[in-house]
Each structure stands twice: as C-alpha cells, then as structure tokens.
A and B are shown apart, each in its own frame.
Chain A
C-alpha cells in the first residue's frame, strides 16, 4: 500500500476557477512535505515545501496546507490558468522521498 495517497486521481476545471487537491499520508515521522508540478513528459518542479511544524505555505496562486495531526495536506490553486494543466504530486520525505501517484489537472477555456 502506497504511503502517500492523492485524490482525486484526475480533475477538470474551467479557466479562472479555484480547485483543491488532497494528499493523505502514513509516513511518520517525516521531515518535510513537498508539492511538485509535473508537465507531461517533463521532470517535476517544486511548488512548495513545508516542514512538519508548518501548516501553510504559499507560492503565488498555489497555497499548500498541512495538518500533521490528521496526516493530510492540500494544495489550493486560485484563479486557474490553462498553463496549470499538469500532474500535481505530493511527496513526503524522511530519509528518502515517498511520492504519491499525482492528480492530473486539466484546465479548460
């Protein structure tokens, strides 16, 4: 069983709308949690990184939250753009990095 579960598996939204992606993890303890954006056929690019003691981190239109008690994280995207279409991957790290399977987001005009 994967230690990092993401939902939904895929999501389609209209340009300009907001959305929230979820990440549940069982890795414990952990040192940090990252969200990556991966365009099709490309390597992942870091969006946010939070240590276990942080509960929110923003990067422009991306805001990540972390609840260490419930072992949940979310990535909120505001005012979506067509270029936000990508896979978003949650990664929990201790000594190594445990990747979720990602949420495939499609933003339509």
Chain B
C-alpha cells in the first residue's frame, strides 16, 4: 500500500451534475497531482497542487478545479459533467514538485457519467 487513499471508490452521476472526489496524501507530502485515466489508456495529467497553490495544469477545461488543504487532503471538483468524463481518477502525492521525487498513487475513484 502507498499510504494514499481516495474516496469514494466508485461513483455514478448523470450528465450536467457536479462531483467532488477526495484524496488523502501521505503525511509530509506537500504536492498532490490529479490524473484522469480512460479505459485502456495511460493517465492524463489534470493539475498539480503544491502547498495549497496550483502548480501546473494539463489540457483540461476550467470546469475541472481543485483544492489542497493543510492536512494533506485534497479535492478534485468537476462541474457540468459530460459523458466523456467517465474514467478512473487518480491522485498521487510526493514530497515536493520535483520530477525526481517519486509519486505515490492512490487506488483511484471510478466515475461513471450516464
């Protein structure tokens, strides 16, 4: 186990709804990254937070937003859900944002949008 947890495990929403996914990082890890993984594909980078500030963003629209809290927890919020948002959402924590630091992944949240 990596020490990174995510909730919920599975979630079903309908198009147009909003969703909040949660991640608890390893204690002491100041950086959390979120990824979207479609079936049969590698993870795609959504954004990264370092010390509660956004520290980089992938090619995702503004309806994907996030928060990081001082207690090593974080959230991914998605508004106006679309069918293509159905995927496994992974969070990964690391000591800091350096690419040399290993990222420890959580088990993911499987989101289905109907």
Contact = CB atoms under 8 A, between A and B. Distances in A.
Contacts of B56: 95-96
Contact of A99 (B42, B106, B107, B108): B42
B41 A43 contact: no
Looking at chain B's contact residues, is the secondary structure mostly helix, strand, loop, or mixed?
Answer: loop
A99 B2 contact: no
A61 to B, nearest CB: 20
Interface in A4-42: 4, 31-32, 41-42
A89 B56 CA distance: 22
Interface in B58-111: 58, 88, 90, 92, 99-100, 102-103, 105-108, 110
A45 interface: yes
Interface string B30-45: 0001010000111111
A91 B43 CA distance: 10
A82 interface: no
B21 interface: no
Interface of A: 4, 31-32, 41-46, 49, 51, 89, 91, 93-97, 99-102
Interface of B: 2, 4, 33, 35, 40-45, 48, 56, 58, 88, 90, 92, 99-100, 102-103, 105-108, 110
